[in-house]
Structure 1
Amino acid sequence: MKRSSQLDQYKRFVGEDVLAQIYRAAESLAGLHVLHVNTTAQGGGVAELLHSLIPLMDELGIPHTWKVIPLDEASNLFAAHLVDLLQGIEHGSIPQEDQRVFLDTLRRTPATGQLEENQADIYFIHDFQLAPLATFFPWIRPALWMCHVDTAHPDPGGKEYIDQFLDAYNVCVFNTPLSIFQDLPPEKAHVITPTIDPFSEKNRYLTPAKGLKLLKDCGIDTTRPLITQVSRFGNWKNPWQVIDVYRLVKQELPSVQVALVGAMEAADDIKAMEILT
């Protein structure tokens, strides 16, 4: 199989043996058309993952298509409540009327209706919001549901909502073994641990001089100590704990500064401004 310049650049991180395994797998999958579906093209881990993955897969001869189904504000609020249930921060059942409105809206979203124009050999449905898609459309087969959130201790109400859609999926993929729904058949549950792309923009090497200049441009005093959190602005990133740590450190080190750093670019990040302010 022809070598991929994009894949080969990872050799210094994983070694030739791992690359050889990937090349063998890619050769057996050559020509397979994969469709990824999620809710946002920018911001968040899924978009970051796909921006790195798709060009690499295309170069290996496994064409990947990526379609985005944007949600309106009401649907994003529903999704924000659902993820808090799935991650155990909120409790209670989801009213049937709320479910009906969300599902009707999702089904009628123009981008949802256009999915059939992009039929593929296998479908990757990303995130909890879009779990109903494989139930809506029987032609979405075979399908994998990519969970992407911490479901180690889900509230029963959130899990009950998701459970009704999982029969339509051949495989459900979780981030860690602890996040697997315990009542899923073992052959249906898989774990793929997320990793960073060392070649993405945010992970590239920055010289100390350029880093100091960027900090100064942001109004940070580079002569003083700095506590920083870089993340989305969300409940599960716990920015309040960063502030608590800052206050404790400041008692011993009065010159310390704190910076909460993030980009509010993900359309589904509906609570970011509320949490930040």
Structure 2
Amino acid sequence: MSAVAEGGLTLQPTPLPFDLAGFEVLIGPERTARLHTAAAALRESLGGGTLWHVNSTGAGGGVAEMLHTLLPLYRRLGMRARWAVVGGDTGFFTLAKRLGLALYGSTGDGGQLGPTERDAYLAALGGPGERLASLVRPGDVVLLHDHQTAGLVPRLARRGVRVYWRCHVGVDRPTEVSDRAWNLLAPLLDGAHGTLFSVPWHIPDRLRNGRAAVLAPFIAPFSAKNRPLDQATVRRALVRCGLRPDDGTPAGPNGGGPPVQVTGEAPPDPEEPLIAQVSRWDRLKDMHGVLAAVTDHVPDGHLALVGPDPLGVPDDTEQALWFERCRTAWLRLPPAQRRRVTLVCLPMDDLVDNALLVNSIQRASTVVLQKSLAEGFGLTVTEAMWKARTVVAAGVGGIRAQVTHGRTGLLVDDPHDLPGFAELVISALHGGMDIDTLGERARQRVRADFLPDTEIHTMARLLTGGVHE
């Protein structure tokens, strides 16, 4: 089934089925029983209504990835669920990007977030809002994701449906910039039945009103991005990404596919440790800062900076800018340093293929990095932890809730401390700690706290009034 677009709103097709039986084996009988109890409570609360999820893209980014798992899981558990994506022109997404960066405390493009911008934002959501309001029915529940959709709350509330807003971004300490963003958004949320945040310290004071809840994002353990892969599959993927020399081995299931845009001198030697960061090309993911930290301060290892095709994520208008900044910085490196870095842009037109490439790169990496300047919740961190990789990250945002320094990964307190960050990478590469134990603890942390059943439990409590902070 294809996506259906009308009135600035796209109804997403049913994602691939969820392997509930396999998941129940993974989590065990006691946790399975709790999952089905929560699902029964959720079905009763919905009373036959539909649970809608609404975001701004069907591909690219953590929200879309989670929804590709959640929709089939809801249906396997006996609930009606649908997924809609709001559209917009370049002006809308430029404004939404500015708003999202401001929620992180970043000035972004330096533009305003005043009454004029609020009116333009709401006007752009007029068409999608009308279309969505015509589709929902009394008894439905609508969960809106992130700043791109907050302006839909008033219209939906007037329809008499239960509407919740979920924020996947945030700033650890409020700033003047983040306050401007909340000045625009907070009044729009008055009609919401509740709000959800990934970590408690991202809830602004003005929303600590008894209607805010905490719900950490999750990964799907059997998805193409996280399932086990054999070594031949991993190697073929690395060849496609310019991270292993091509030995002429015939292409298998993951040896062909859309072309991968590779910027590099030559594939690294297979014996050379691979250091990778997988992120959007985004100012706050700080790919160019990672490039500087590794090339200036880490004497060995090959760095792979891996992101999507800069033109492949329609709701992010700055990808091409930040990729080009990384490419320019790479070109300016001395030749010996330039040979140690590969920039990889993954195609977005086949999401399963994209996920298998990410999976392969993470599994092949000795160290997985996430040196974000700010972070809502780092799903790439959780993915690497699930694969028992050593994670070296900045202790910002939700990463502080995911990684315990020295136990499930390594954290640098200040993401701008490039020598300190590099020191942790060197320690992981050269035996400064037992990385096998670190990796296994990381995997068990994900199994305990960051799998899809946590979402069902929290939503059941939320809709029955028992989870607010």
TM-score, length basis structure 2: 0.54
Report the residue type matching 2:284 in the other structure. Answer: W
> Alignment length, in residue pairs?
269
For residue 11 of structure 1, report the CA deviation from its aligned partner: 2.8
Is 1:49 matched with 2:66?
yes
Structure 2 equivalent of residue 114 of structure 1: 131
Report the residue type matching 2:305 in the other structure. Answer: L
Is 1:101 matched with 2:101?
no
Q: Distance in 1 between matches of 2:168 and 2:277?
A: 21
Is 1:268 matched with 2:315?
yes
Q: Distance in 2 between matches of 1:5 and 1:230?
A: 25
Unaligned runs of 5+ in 1: none
Q: Distance in 2 between matches of 1:11 and 1:83?
A: 36
Identity %: 30
1:207 to 222, 225, 230: 230
2:303 to 242, 258, 266: 258
Distance 1:232 1:199, change over 3 A: same
Q: Distance in 2 between matches of 1:229 and 1:159?
A: 30
Q: Distance in 2 between matches of 1:140 and 1:226?
A: 53
Q: How does 1:205-244 map to 2 (within 5 A)?
A: 205-220=228-243, 221=267, 222-223=269-270, 224-244=272-292
For residue 93 of structure 1, report the CA deviation from its aligned partner: 5.6
Distance 1:146 1:5, change over 3 A: closer
Q: Distance in 2 between matches of 1:57 and 1:148?
A: 21
Structure 1 equivalent of residue 187 of structure 2: 164
Deviating beyond 6 angstroms after TM superposition, the runs of 4 or more aligned structure 1 residues are none
Assess if the C-alpha contact under 8 Å between 1:79 and 1:129 holds in 2.
yes
Assess if the C-alpha contact under 8 Å between 1:131 and 1:165 holds in 2.
yes
Structure 2 equivalent of residue 76 of structure 1: 93
Structure 1 equivalent of residue 56 of structure 2: 39
Unaligned runs of 5+ in 2: 1-16, 244-266, 325-469
Q: Distance in 2 between matches of 1:130 and 1:74?
A: 15
Q: Distance in 1 between matches of 2:116 and 2:42?
A: 43
Q: For the aligned residues, what is the CA RMSD?
A: 2.1
Is 1:139 matched with 2:192?
no
Q: Distance in 2 between matches of 1:249 and 1:119?
A: 55
Helix, strand or coil for the counterpart of 1:173?
strand
Q: Distance in 1 between matches of 2:179 and 2:111?
A: 8
Report the residue type matching 2:169 in the other structure. Answer: V
Distance 1:151 1:135, change over 3 A: farther
For residue 266 of structure 1, report the CA deviation from its aligned partner: 2.4
Assess if the C-alpha contact under 8 Å between 2:281 and 2:322 holds in 1.
yes
For residue 28 of structure 1, report the CA deviation from its aligned partner: 3.0
TM-score, length basis structure 1: 0.89
Distance 1:271 1:136, change over 3 A: same
Where relative contact order (Cα < 8 A, 6+ residues apart) is larger, the structure is 1
Q: Distance in 2 between matches of 1:105 and 1:183?
A: 26
